[in-house]
Amino acid sequence: MKKVIVTGGAGFIGSHTVVELFEAGYTPVVVDDFSNSHRSVLDALRALTSADLAVYDLDCTDAEKLAEVFRDDGHICGAIHFAAYKSVVESVRAPRKYYANNIGSLVTLLGVMQEFGLENLVFSSSCTVYGQPDALPVTEATPLQRAQSPYGFTKQVCEQLIDDLVDAKSPLRAVTLRYFNPIGAHPSGQIGELPIGVPDNLVPYITQTAAGLRETLTVFGGDYATPDGSCVRDYIHVVDLAKAHVKALDWITTQKSEPFNEVFNLGTGEGVSVLEAVRTFEAVNDLKLNYTVGARRPGDVEKIYANVDKARDVLGWRAELRLGDAMRDAWNWQTTLAQRGFAKQR
């Protein structure tokens, strides 16, 4: 069995990746402390994979507990590290929590991997490491700029840590995936984004507004130097993103054994404005969304979208789903939540 440890496996991207790993013939082992995810996701994953998933409820900064996963489970071929806090806004309010968890969990995982001789790692990073790029679209060679938030800085530090281990000739064969803006949900409506509290991110705020859980969506800024004045992002369907992780793991196992950290942008390659995203949501779901254009949000990058040639040429991966697919699936997920009595998350 090709066992893969998936830290943060009950989270938004982690849960979708568990499904794709299973469908590709891997045996995912879920590790999650459920501090930012729901245990109900596990039932959905068991239903979607019709497998009795192995799940470890633990904090990835706890080396002893994490080592038990490696002891309990037979041949593990790789680890995918999602476990991290991911709110830009919260990281500004609570930086210590972000440094301790996001950096601490990777440091711990890398130590336990070395202890058990596991070399293959897929690391979940973010386009936020680029800051506001000078030239667009960004390639993997685009220089990183000073992070705009503690969250972004933890991603830069984690990437640097992996590079430093490779330079020190540690037995590590890593792929770092820089996500652009993950959105949408599994088309089954069984899993999706479950933000706790008021969503920071655009699409869950849109779907909660459409569902009547929020009064109105505020578009943060209409005076940017973009075609319609609203910020531009590269929105990628979470299922496409999940499939890229399988491709990354497959690719690592075909590489020579010398240490490496290969970085890939994961986006669609297309820039979409907030207002375009809103209009697409309305069109594909035949809905009218209640929104206003308000003040800019501090720290927002004006425009960023990816050059995704490297993932295509090296991993043989490209996004296949469109913005409309993601907006349809996000709304389907929100209506499923309502049917299941999931009102506003805490």
Residue 219 Cβ, how far from ligand WQD at the closest point, in Å?
A: 4
Among 59, 119, 140, 200, binds ligand WQD (CB under 6 A): 200
Output the CA–CA distances (angstroms, integers) from residue 3 to 57, 114, 153, 249, in the order listed: 17, 17, 31, 11
The answer to whether residues 193 and 12 touch, using CB atoms and an 8 Å cutoff, is: yes
Stretch that binds ligand WQD, among 105-113, 201-209, 313-321, 337-345 (CB under 6 A): 201-209
Count helices and strands in the chain by DSSP H and E runs: 12, 13
Q: Which is closer to ligand WQD, CB of 70 or CB of 98? A: 98
**Which of 135, 127, 119, 174 shows the shortest CA–CA distance to 155?**
127
Q: Return the residues of window 5-34 that contact ligand WQD according to CB under 6 A.
A: none
Question: Does residue 282 interact with ligand WQD by CB under 6 A?
Answer: no
State which of residues 38, 297, 303, 312 lies at the interface with ligand WQD (CB under 6 A): 297
Distance CA 235, CA 270 (A): 8
Phi, psi of 281 (to 5 degrees): -60, -45
- Of 188, 245, 336, give the one whose Cα is nearest residue 8: 245
Q: Give the containing element (helix H, strand E) for 173.
A: strand 173-179
User: Among all chains, which residue has been given the structure tokens 């849109």?
Assistant: 206
One symbol per residue from 91 to 130: x for binding ligand WQD (CB under 6 A), - otherwise; what is it?
-----------------------------------x-x--
CB of 38 to ligand WQD, least distance (A): 18
Give which of 208, 216, 212, 195 is closest to 293, Cα–Cα: 216
Q: Give min distance, CB of 131 to ligand WQD, in A.
A: 10
User: Which of 56, 151, 179, 205 is an active site residue?
Assistant: 151
Closer by beta carbon to ligand WQD, 189 or else 271: 271
SS3 345: coil
Query: Which of 158, 231, 238, 308 lies at the binding interface for ligand WQD (CB under 6 A)?
Result: 231
Backbone angles phi, psi at 200, to 5 degrees: -80, -35
Residues in Cβ contact with 340 at an 8 Å cutoff, skipping those fewer than 6 apart: none
Interface with ligand WQD (CB under 6 A), residue from 139, 145, 170, 201: 201
Please, how many CA atoms are within 13 Å of residue 245, restricted to the half-sphere of its CB? Answer: 32
Whichever of 78 and 199 has its CB closer to ligand WQD, that residue is: 199
Do 32 and 10 touch, CB atoms closer than 8 A?
A: yes
Question: Is residue 151 annotated as part of the catalytic site, yes or no?
Answer: yes
Residue among 49, 139, 190, 218 that touches ligand WQD (CB under 6 A): 218
Structure tokens at 202: 């655009």
Site string for ligand WQD, 53-92 (x = CB under 6 A): ---------------------------------x-x----
Q: Which is nearer to ligand WQD, 128 or 265 (CB)?
A: 128
For residues 3 and 155, which CB has a smaller minimum distance to ligand WQD in the complex? Answer: 155
Contact set with ligand WQD (CB under 6 A):
86, 88, 126, 128, 179, 181-182, 200-202, 205, 217-220, 231, 233, 274, 297, 300
Q: Any idea which residues carry the catalytic annotation?
A: 151
